[in-house]
Amino acid sequence: MPSDKRYLFIDTHRIRQWGGDVYQRFPRPEKMLTTGLLAGPAGSWDARGPTMYGSVLKEGGKFHMWYGVKPDALSHAEEPDHFYTCYAESDDGLNWRKPDLKITGQKRYPGNNLLSLPGVVMGVVHALPGADYRYIAALMQYHIEDDISGGFGYEDAGPGTYIYVSDDGLQWKQHTPAPVACWGDVCNFTVDPLANRYLLYQKVMDFHGLCARRTFCCLDSSDGLHWNGIGGEGMTPWRESLQCDDFDDLQAAQAGYIVANHYDVAIYQAGKTYISVEDIFQMGEPLRKAYTQSPNGRYIFRLGFSHDGIIWRYPKGRPTWLEPGAPGEWDSGFAVNANTFVEHNDHLLLYYTATPYPHGWSINTDFTQRTDIPLDAQSNSTNIMIARIRKDRFASLASGFRGTVSLDGGPRDEGDTLYINARSPQRGIRAAVTDLNTGKPLAGFAFDDCVPFVGDATRAAVQFRSARLAELPAARPR
């Protein structure tokens, strides 16, 4: 079945009726800890540890990672977010190595895996067909720094989100001479091959009553140079896309906090369905009474879905998909995620930054560094973990006894085989093909004609005893 015909049960809009004790389930991911990415020793380019702002791509059996790091803090007066971009490789996606790239920073940090980018990468994707480069990336650019990003021909038109392109993923060229967006310090950059566009989810600030909170607007472009979704007048000249509301605030209050906002987001496409993993930051006191960010709170990851990548909906109750680990575990404090999942065999892998410290632990409410915390306490404070699920199993429909679900599958316009992604260790799953107008099974395609599926597979072919889907007219309604 072509990828654009996948139907995920996180989105129930094509269900027509159901019977029995059918209910929706949301499996939690398995957490895994990577190796080889921990902070280097004092004085190294990554002394404070890795940050999974960025991407992982799997190509030719090898995993490639673009991620952020922070060197030692040299003074309490310096900017807390002092980021560089690094590159790492892996054969299995779990155990990583930092190659000596010899691209930049050799005088200050010999033997490093630094790239020359003047900031931290927020997403690397394959370029759309017709582009004269292989990769395209969004970078949160801060400033051009001598011996790291200086001397590579980059232009600095102020901080913000810039677009860069590359033929090999290591040597990068500036694609936009000025920032695409100048708001916020986090974004998600992804490619939408079905719509032939790039999507940029940019973190911005907005008000909900007298609560200022982080939210995301959505920009789109066909070439990475010209962007839609920005412009206009006022404080918020953008197309809002991801924004918390009163229900999220109620969930935050139940957890002992005050207000919820979006801190980060990962976007994945399953056919024509967009899936979001939203990093919800539940903020507590002290809250800043200004049009700006507040630093204190906890995180959870939750799922959303969309039909266009701009307007988002949520499962009933907005269940948590990933929550902080137990005290002392790497992800017990705070987490941010990569731009999307990596498909690896029958699994999807979402890489995310993990720290046992809460967000804002080493900074004041105004985001200056706390002088009562020694600078070396920030060393080796982050790691990178993986949230792993079986492919496309964001949600499922389950039943204890003879549950039935009727879906509008449309005409058989292409393909001769029906596949299911299912786990049924005992009783089995059967399928039927019915006429859309009458609701009656087609000859040879009733439940009793189907060979029950028993097992656990992400792509199991449905078999009928005496009929084949290929025998049906392509346009026949069912």
pLDDT tens digit string along 25-61? 999 999 999 999 999 999 999 999 999 999 999 999 9
Alpha-carbon torsion (393, 396, 399, 400), positive or negative: positive
Per residue in 320-375, pLDDT tens? 999 999 999 999 999 999 999 999 999 999 999 999 999 989 999 888 999 999 99
Q: How confident is the model at residue 219 (pLDDT cuts 50, 70, 90)?
A: very high
**pLDDT of 439 higher than 80:** yes
Q: What local confidence, expressed as pLDDT, does residue 4 receive?
A: 64
Pair 313, 306: CB distance under 8 Å: yes
> What is the band of 408 on the pLDDT scale with cuts at 50, 70, 90?
confident
> What does the pLDDT average to over 394-416?
83
Higher pLDDT, 383 or 411: 383
- pLDDT tens per residue, range 281-335: 999 988 888 878 888 999 999 999 999 999 999 999 999 999 999 999 999 999 9
Residue 93 has pLDDT above 70, yes or no: yes
DSSP 41-90: STTSTTTT-EEEEEEEEEETTEEEEEEEE------TTS-S---EEEEEEE
Q: Edge to edge, what strands does the sheet with 135-141 contain?
A: 119-126, 135-141, 160-166, 172-174
Q: pLDDT at residue 235 above 90?
A: no
Q: Is the pTM of this model over 0.85?
A: yes
Residue 477 binned pLDDT confidence (cut-offs 50, 70, 90): very low
